Structure 1
Amino acid sequence: MALSESDGQLVIIGGAEDKEGDCKILREFIRRAGGLKAQIVVMTVATEMPREVGDDYIRVFERLGVEEIQIIDTLYREDANAPRALEAIRKATGVFFTGGDQARITSILKDTEIDRLLHKRLSEGIVIAGTSAGAAMMPDMMIVEGDSQTNPRVEIVKMEPGMGFLPGVVIDQHFAERGRIGRLLSAIAQQPVTLGFGIDENTAAIVRDNELEVVGEGAVTVVDMADITYSNLSQILRDEDLALCGVKLHILPHGYRFDLGSKMPILAEDTSTVEQKSQENGQATEIPVIIG
């Protein structure tokens, strides 16, 4: 479940990132994409208002000092093979996916020339960022829609293939603000993966190699089902409640990191894992979550 392309970086934003004040997350995206020398492509495929949304990001990126910005609007699937769009991505140091509808991203871009080029460029070291819908599409299987603020049930979440930039996980956005813990648990329980990330608004999970770093004013909730002791998934109908026992949960605010290989959080003040620190203190660290 590590980043499939070893040299690139992903900036996965939970939505509603600050565009007026300090712009901490967008500033970090630009810095990692080359700073003042960054060449940015904004992908507006997810939104039905590409001009307005594109102009918003042009304004904020220009304010941060970026001079090379191009908007790529792929309204139809054939646009995903357009020479101008492909050339812009070849030259880009950073690609930013706006919010909107994640199903539009995959229906228009998946298995096209743009899709293949984005994966190639990621392997060459560019930064790919996405907010809201642009975050949801990052895994190989994405949440398309689902009920919020409810207990886990099979019926509350719909999954479809994503873009596969970060395979082997499930991602949900607007997480704390919309009470989406139930649908993230439901999604992970029904997929052949054990790890999920719930990203709050104005918060980003930045992934490079095998490590995730949290940036922003909220938190990233990490759900780890690798060692669950019980699930009734095989016994229930679609509208019946899921029971999940022994789920491990980590809440990681700004500055904390997570090792995707060992599945261990890394403390903000040093490089020790939470598990190592707790062993030194003689304390247990696993937080069982029992839902049913």
Structure 2
Amino acid sequence: MDDTSKRQLVIIGGAEDKEGDCLILRDFVRRSGGIKSKIVIMTAATELPRDVGENYIRVFEGLGAEEARIIDTETRDDASSSTALQAIAQATGIFFTGGDQSRITSIIKDTEIDTAIHKRFSEGVVVAGTSAGAAVMPDKMIVEGDSQTNARIEVVEMGPGLGFLPGVVIDQHFSQRGRIGRLMAALIQEPAVLGFGIDENTAMVVTDHQVEIIGEGSVTIVDESDSTHNNMDEILKDEPLAIFGAKLHILPHGYKFDLKTRQPILDQNPVANISQPLATSNS
């Protein structure tokens, strides 16, 4: 049986700092072993794998990583490369870049590399992803959708993710692109009770069942476990959704959240009074 206490995810909302203090990427390198870390950069999401990958090599090696290398999978055949599989077997940190999340799943999901990464994740290797690389972390992901709109079924398209953090929905570039409507639409469509909207240059670090927020923005958490009503079964796809009694938590740097109790944590104690009820209606 896997020891879930070993599992660590660094899920980044995109546009993380790569030139200044590099707080989030620095944290990823530290968790991956610091000056002994061996990091593989998964560039499946981007159409510019060499440029994007080499930029991350520069950052990770500048932060002291012992080694950083690119795994470029342009096709599913590349996802069974013995060289790539060997690099993953030796890695202490695995990083998915941004781009198009559907490229990641279409090329990598259910391949030898996918199996190898999940095995290493269960053994304690840190898995991180930014933007599109963050979107693929759940078992069901947001493939695409409209920003800055009210919640309607049609504003979001869902698809299979890589399943590192099942049972949740994740959205990125959250505040910057006004994505609360599409997160709500995704959450209501999927059998998940928690939705996470991650701002740019912000990350949620998941260790076992605890989430810690780092970075300059916030993570918006929508909990619909106690929701009393939604009208999804009564409307057409272009009509607005109604949700009653969902909870909203907004957590900045340093705050934590317990995935089991679904409660924010302050000073290691769950805090109920920093949550706010969220009900949307169409008046």
Tell me the secondary structure at the aligned position of residue 261 of structure 2: coil
- Whether 1:247 and 2:246 are equivalent positions in the alignment is yes
Following the alignment from structure 2 to structure 1, what is the Cα–Cα distance between the partners of residues 54 and 152? 40
Q: Which residue number corresponds to residue 89 of structure 1?
A: 88
Structure 1 position 289, deviation (Å):
2.7
Pairing 1:257-268 to 2, within 5 Å after superposition: 257-267=256-266
Please state how far the C-alpha of 1:70 moved relative to its aligned partner. 1.2
Deviation at 1:286, TM superposition (A): 4.0
CA distance in 1 between counterparts of 2:281 and 2:73 reads: 42
Output aligned runs, 1:128-147, within 5 Å.
128-147=127-146
Change (3 A) 1:192 1:84: same
Which residue number in structure 1 is paired with residue 38 of structure 2? Answer: 39
- 2:264 matches 1:274: no
User: Within 5 A, what are the aligned runs for 1:6-85?
Assistant: 6-85=5-84
- In 2, the alpha carbon distance for the partners of 1:4 and 1:48 equals 36
Compute the displacement of 1:117 (Å).
0.7
- Tell me the distance in 2 between the aligned counterparts of 1:147 and 1:247: 22
User: What is the percent sequence identity of the aligned residues?
Assistant: 64
* Residues 186-225 of structure 1: pairs in structure 2 closer than 5 A: 186-225=185-224
Give the SS at the match of 1:287. Answer: strand
Match of 2:280 in 1: 290
Task: Indicate the residue corresponding to 1:228 in structure 2.
Answer: 227
Q: TM-score, normalised by structure 2?
A: 0.97
Q: Deviations over 1:95-118 (max 9, x none)?
A: 000000000000000000010111
1:281 is aligned to none
Q: How well do the aligned residues superpose, as a CA RMSD in angstroms?
A: 1.3
Contact 1:249 1:289 in 2 (8 A): no
AA partner of residue 139 (structure 2): D
CA–CA distance in structure 2, aligned partners of residues 105 and 179 of structure 1? 24
TM-score with structure 1 setting the length: 0.94
Structure 2 gaps, min length 5: none
Contact 2:172 2:197 in 1 (8 A): yes
Classify the secondary structure of the residue corresponding to 1:176. coil
How far apart in 2 are the matches of 1:134 and 1:219?
A: 18
* Contact 2:12–2:203 (8 Å) recurs in 1: yes
Counterpart amino acid of residue 6 in structure 2? D
In structure 2, how many angstroms separate the alpha carbons of the residues matched to 1:4 and 1:103? 30
What corresponds to 1:113 in structure 2?
112
Measured in 2, the distance between the counterparts of 1:181 and 1:21 equals 29
The separation in 2 between residues aligned to 1:84 and 1:217, in whole angstroms, is 37
**Aligned residue type for 1:93:** T
> Quick one: distance in 1 between partners of 2:72 and 2:156?
29
